[in-house]
Amino acid sequence: MKYLSAIQKRQLRGIQVMSLLLVLFSFVFYFNSTKVEDITFGFVIDQEWQLINEWVVASKSGSGLFLLLALIGVALAYLQFRNGKQIVTGGFIFGFGIILAFLCWTASGKFVPFTGILQGAIMFSVPLIFGSLSGLLCEKSGVINIAIEGQLLFAACVSAMIASISQNVFIGLVFAPIAGMLVSFLLAFFAIKYQVDQVILGFVLNVLVIGLTGYIYSKLLVPYGDVWNLGPTFDRTPIPLLSKLPIIGPILFNQTIIVYLMYLIVFVIQFAMFKTRWGLRTRAIGELPIAADSVGIDVNRLRYKNVLLAGLVAGIGGSYFTLGAVGSFTKEMTAGAGFIALACLIFGKWTPRGAVTAALFFGFTTSLQSNLSIIGVSIPSEFMLMVPYIATIIAVSGVVGRVRAPAADGIPYSRGNR
């Protein structure tokens, strides 16, 4: 046996875990499965309930089909491993196959609105994508951002209040990034100027925002709710032509402005981070600030800028909770989304693409869960609710494994202190 590096050993173990899970699930979902009823996958446009197509398959053969897909995923991962590449693609195909096999097994005899699930996946992942991109902007430049939850929550609160008193969603949307940047400013100010431990700082800012918004909520939004907390929401604006595409059209291109902004921001960040001067400098100050300083980059100035930019991004994400959905603010309405976003960032190995994929994965499992609860499957709903979290743990420990943050992440920079 030739010498394997630590990463290769881990990859090999990942493949072993996947194979083991595949064998295990094959028994549950296929060989031991007694469910013979048909399952109907509907491709429905959610709004008009206009059936485009449906696919009826027997529960058992559907499971078998998707288990086969999972097997292909494992095989692909092994091939990737043999060629010395990352095994993530294979891992994702495997995961997708397993999840759908599980769906075939559990929803036997039921109707599954497949497009609805995907639409929900986008819906659940929007704040996570904004949040994890906010974390990315900070951490790539060397400032740990645990305050994502605080940024989202504060922006949600402020945008709802402003939209409510002005009765104008767009004014609300303008103030959301400002609110996010306010939290970001505190993060930057204490982290860069006073060099406070950034993990402590981020956590404390979360508590501060949770307390402050809770206070505002009880003091102002509840007693004077009809003035302060009755905001309008964005309507869906279908993009001409694109929204007419089959299946993906209504899923991707019949959304609110916030979601379109998200597409834009994802592409801009992915491009800018790796193709522009700003991106190169950002990555430099996150990995080795001394070197960046020696070629004349003002490290702390750029960190300030990037942290504020991160607040802007998270702020827009925060407005999705209020302006993009219900209009009014409730206490702690982000419900830990900021922490999930943080997990997505780590899960995605601090890359924009990875973070977005992780967020979509989480959104997909959450949406699957909520749809299955509506369909009514035999598994207790609490276990269904656990699925996204369990899936994330499996994905993190089975496929992603040990990750490496930017080298200078969390270490304050000052010239005298090398």
Contacting positions for other proteins (CB under 8 A): 10, 13-14, 139, 144, 190, 194, 196-201, 203-205, 207-208, 210-212, 214-215, 217-220, 336, 339-340, 342-343, 346-347, 380, 382-383, 385-386, 389-390, 392-393, 396-398, 400-405, 407, 409-411
Neighbours of 70 (CB within 10 A): 26
Provide, rounded to whole angstroms, the least separation between the CB of residue 332 and other proteins: 10
Closest CA to 179 of 315, 293, 43: 315
* 94 or 234: CB nearest other proteins: 94
Half-sphere exposure of 248 (CA within 13 A, CB side): 2
CB 205, min distance to other proteins, A: 7
Helix (H, G, I), strand (E, B) or coil at 44: strand
Q: What is the DSSP string of 51-105?
A: EEEEEEEEHHHHHHHHHHHHHHHHHHHHHHHHTT---HHHHHHHHHHHHHHHHHH
Q: Nearer to other proteins by C-beta: 246 or 336? A: 336
Question: Cβ 168 to other proteins, closest distance in Å?
Answer: 25
- Is the CB of 169 or the CB of 384 nearer to other proteins? 384
Q: Nearest distance from residue 393's CB to other proteins, in Å?
A: 5
Quote the least distance from Cβ 148 to other proteins, whole Å: 12
CA dist list (Å): 248 to 108, 225, 370: 25, 38, 20
Cβ proximity to other proteins: between 42 and 410 the closer is 410
End-to-end CA distance of the chain: 43
Residue 190, number of CB atoms within 10 A of its CB: 18
Kindly tell me which of 6 and 295 has the beta carbon lying closer to other proteins: 6
Distance of alpha carbon 388 from alpha carbon 70, whole angstroms: 18
Measured distance CA(92)–CA(67) in Å, rounded: 13
Q: Which is nearer to other proteins, 251 or 358 (CB)?
A: 358
For the chain, state the CA radius of gyration: 23
Tell me whether residue 147 or residue 251 sits nearer to other proteins (CB atom): 147
| Type of residue numbered 260 | Y
User: Taking the complex as a whole, how short is the minimal distance between the CB of residue 44 and other proteins, in angstroms?
Assistant: 29
**213-245 in b/e burial notation, b at 16+ Cβ within 10 A?**
beebbeeebeeeeeebbbbebbeeeeeeeebee
Q: Taking the complex as a whole, how short is the minimal distance between the CB of residue 68 and other proteins, in angstroms? A: 26
